[in-house]
Structure 1
Amino acid sequence: MTEASNNEVGTQAEDIKARKERERDELYALDISGVEWICAPGTEQHEERVEIAYLPEGAVAMRSSLDPGTVLRYTEAEWRAFVLGARDGEFDLEASPRGGGVAAE
């Protein structure tokens, strides 16, 4: 690569990083006090569960029912990547080489 090509790649990477930071800041600035939280069907109100809320522009908020004050927010692209990865088995539980994991059944 030439020096000009390297500079262009570096500039593009900086632009992407700045865009992602801006998206994150905008996402966390949203007032989500009135969103509807949903969870997987079949879970009871007293059970520990993951809850999600759909936000504008395809974004998603996620929290634990045991800690509803801690909310993670994902852009549409981040959520799509997660869901597609989960469907492909990227997050399936397997026995950990350190003995910390449990195999999914």
Structure 2
Amino acid sequence: MADLTGAKWRKSTRSGSNGGDCVEVADNLPGLVAVRDSKDSAGPVLTFTPTAWASFIQATKIGH
């Protein structure tokens, strides 16, 4: 399991303000990007390499 000590979580810019489906991202950790459901901050966390995360973001921007 990844060490998330010091993670600075921020709400995704694409998350709505209505309390619905929100994603939080911590991209301040060396070599790691962590993603979690903001409604369950103690729940599971997905982790990605920065390269994999950048590829995912790019793919979603172009509609894949």
TM over 0.5: yes
**For 1:62 and 1:47, how far apart are their aligned partners in 2?**
17
Aligned residue among 45, 56, 60 for 1:82: 56
Greater helix share, structure number: 1
Structure of higher RCO (CA pairs closer than 8 Å, 6+ residues apart): 2
- Across the aligned residues of Structure 1 and Structure 2, the Cα RMSD in angstroms comes to 2.1
Alignment length (residue pairs): 60
Which consecutive unaligned segments of at least 5 residues does structure 2 have?
Answer: none
Greater strand share, structure number: 2
Q: Output the TM-score relative to the length of structure 1.
A: 0.48
Q: Which amino acid aligns with 1:56?
A: P
Identity of aligned residues (%): 33
Kindly name which structure, 1 or 2, has the bigger radius of gyration based on alpha carbons: 1
Residues 1:72 and 2:52 are matched in the alignment: no
Q: Which amino acid aligns with 1:65?
A: S
Which consecutive unaligned segments of at least 5 residues does structure 1 have?
Answer: 1-27, 91-105
**Runs of 4+ in structure 1 displaced over 4 angstroms?**
41-44
Q: Output the TM-score relative to the length of structure 2.
A: 0.73
Aligned residue among 7, 14, 25 for 1:52: 25
